[in-house]
Amino acid sequence: MTRAGPRGDRGLPPWWIAVPAIVALALLGLPIAGLLARASWVRLAADLASPEVVAALRLSVVCSLAATALALALGLPLAWILARGRLPGLRWLRALATLPMVLPPVVGGVALLFAFGRRGLVGRWLATSFGVTLPFSAGAVVLAETFVALPFLVGAAEAGFRQVDRRYEEAAATLGAGPLRTLIGVTLPLALPSLGAGAALGWARALGEFGATITFAGNLPGVTQTLPLAVYVALETRPEAAIALSLLLLAISVAVLAVLRDRWLAP
Amino acid sequence: MRGALATLLALGLLGAAAASEADPAAETLRVFAAASLAEPFQALVKSWTGPPLQLQLGASSALVVQIQEGAPADVIATADQPTMQRLVDAALVETPQRFATNRLVIAVEKGNPKHVAKLADLARADLVVVLAAPEVPAGRYARQLLDAARVTVAPRSLEENVKAVANKVALGEADAGIVYASDAQALADRVEAVEVPEAATVEVTYWIAPLRAAKAPAAARDFVALLLSRTGRDALAKAGFGPP
């Protein structure tokens, strides 16, 4: 008599796996269901077309894209060093590059103030030497968003650079390509899927940034009030507008997931 | 594996249960209070002899939304009447009582380095001015004050509560902000209050009410009584609040 295959073969997990998994799905899905249930679909268009919402959306898109660009420009070289460097203490650098991921964003905002505020370590010098003050400016929003997006980008890019088969680079070098040409022609294209995923995750994180932004950049419609800040402020007096804004952010998040589906949703 | 998973799950559920509902036998009094009430209420907690007291501070408007959405509260204290009225209209609270007043001042850095002397100075282009958002009582009052004085201000930020305004001044990021006298007093080591005569035109009133759905109704009434007693008055006066 042949033994029946493991239950997993029929795709049915044992109950002690199924029950927590269903609870997990409920935990993830119910808040979204709640949001959808409370939305007033009739007024949605009107709520989303208000000048405040349009300004917040514009600011969010511009700042999060700028932050992603900045995170790419600064994060790729750092990721390359973390992946290829032979420096002692590299793991401490890696820990530093991961820190904003675990740091409460409000703490990040306060830390940014102490560094780049008018009285901050660097900010004091920026103010006296160049007359530049970052807090309460869109630049502060970009900086706060870059701060929180960098770990996602650096982490993904480092993994990407590690996966690149060094033999291709060596072959390129043998054929006479210089380091820059090898990097642009061989390493970056091979690491591109990871870089893309990192950039998309970093961008999504930047778009959703709240704590560091409101602490470091303040909240002024059209200047520093991004979508998440607008949601928070609207919730106090106009909950229906807050729900409309939340749906907008939700739609954007779903779109990012759709773009990333090959990497994150495929088994 | 199976045991470990079950243990993890049990731990998680226990944690969630402990976090959301403390031991029902030992009831907790949940007091929701406007951010500006932080100092006097924290002082009052020391004279509180009832069940364990949990103080939740935030913009009055934010607290009211939380209560409307079902947050468990026994007492709510707001920094204005209209915000409290939203709970009265929704029949969520018993009759509110007025328990204190406050007045608006301009908070500046200690020593007043930018020489802010009057409300009209807030229109100066060389000043970084922050206000509370118009959605929260302090922001509404500030706007009322500026309108009464016919001063047009271009704030650099509309903060989510009045304490955030005072802190931006204390941190040196803002040159001036409109806050309550009590907020300036709470940060007296770094912040100075510039009194403005127009502030007399804006009546800042504080209201307290027990919730109808209070889980600890007796303790809620006791807390209101304590606040209205001599002890409460003294704590409020010491923190810079005016009599009701």
Q: Are residues B96 and B113 in the same domain?
A: no
Q: Are residues B224 and B191 in the same domain?
A: no
CATH number of the domain encompassing residue B147? 3.40.190.10
CB of B80 closer than 8 Å to CB of B203? no
Q: Are residues B47 and B111 in the same domain?
A: no
Give the pLDDT means over successive 10-residue stretches in chain A (267 positions). 51 90 95 89 84 90 96 96 90 93 93 94 93 93 97 95 91 89 90 90 93 94 94 84 88 81 56
CB of A56 closer than 8 Å to CB of A227? yes
Q: Is the pLDDT of residue B25 over 50?
A: no
Q: Is the pLDDT of residue B198 over 60?
A: yes
Does the residue B56 lie in any domain?
A: yes
Domain that holds residue B128: 104-201
Q: Are residues B227 and B178 in the same domain?
A: no
Best mutation site among B173, B175, B190 for testing chain A: the one with the most A CBs within 10 Å?
Answer: B173
Query: What confidence score (pLDDT) does residue A123 get?
Result: 94
Pairing of strands B176-180, B53-58: unpaired
Q: Is the pLDDT of residue B19 over 70?
A: no
Query: What confidence score (pLDDT) does residue A255 get?
Result: 83
Q: Which residue of A has its CA nearest to B1?
A: A16
| Spacing of C-alpha B60 from chain mean position | 6
CATH of A44-264, one of 1.10.150.20, 1.10.1370.30, 1.10.3720.10, 2.102.10.10: 1.10.3720.10
Residues of chain A numbered 6-45 and touching chain B (CB < 8 Å): 16-17, 20
Query: What confidence score (pLDDT) does residue B12 get?
Result: 65
By percentage, how much of chain B surpasses pLDDT 70?
Answer: 89
- B-chain CB neighbours of A233 within 8 Å are 133, 135, 158, 160
Q: Are residues B95 and B108 in the same domain?
A: no
What is the widest separation between alpha-carbon atoms in chain B?
A: 71
Q: Are residues B97 and B209 in the same domain?
A: yes
Q: Are residues B151 and B65 in the same domain?
A: no
Q: Which residue has the tokens 């970056």?
A: A188
* Sequence-ordered list of residues with C-beta below 8 angstroms from that of B22, at least 6 positions apart, any chain: B28, B52
Query: What confidence score (pLDDT) does residue A252 get?
Result: 83
Single out the residue of A90, A211, A207, A68 nearest to residue A150, CA to CA. Answer: A68
Q: Domain count of chain B? A: 2
Lowest-pLDDT range of A68-82, B3-17, B174-188: B3-17
Q: Which residue of A has its CA nearest to B5?
A: A16
Q: Are residues B110 and B32 in the same domain?
A: no
Residues B155-160, mean pLDDT to the nearest whole number:
94
Q: Give the ipTM of the model, two decimals please.
A: 0.78
Query: What confidence score (pLDDT) does residue A53 get?
Result: 87
CA dihedral for A143, A145, A148, A154, sign (positive or negative): negative
Q: Are residues B36 and B120 in the same domain?
A: no
Q: Are residues B194 and B226 in the same domain?
A: no
What is the widest separation between alpha-carbon atoms in chain A?
A: 86
Query: What confidence score (pLDDT) does residue A8 get?
Result: 47
Does the residue B159 lie in any domain?
A: yes
Query: What confidence score (pLDDT) does residue B2 get?
Result: 57
Residue boundaries of the structural domains of chain A: 44-264
Query: What confidence score (pLDDT) does residue B3 get?
Result: 61
Interchain proximity B65–A236, CB inside 8 Å:
yes
Interchain proximity A219–B168, CB inside 8 Å:
no
Query: What confidence score (pLDDT) does residue B13 get?
Result: 59
Pairing of strands B191-195, B104-109: antiparallel
Q: Are residues B112 and B192 in the same domain?
A: yes
Q: Is the pLDDT of residue B229 over 60?
A: yes
CA dihedral for A258, A264, B2, B7, sign (positive or negative): negative
Does the residue B18 lie in any domain?
A: no
| Spacing of C-alpha A159 from chain mean position | 17
- B-chain CB neighbours of A234 within 8 Å are 135
Q: Are residues B193 and B110 in the same domain?
A: yes
Does the residue B167 lie in any domain?
A: yes
**Could you please report the per-residue DSSP string of A9-68?**
GGT---HHHHHHHHHHHHHHHHHHHHHHHH--HHHHHHHHHSHHHHHHHHHHHHHHHHHH
| pTM for the whole structure | 0.83
Query: What confidence score (pLDDT) does residue B22 get?
Result: 47
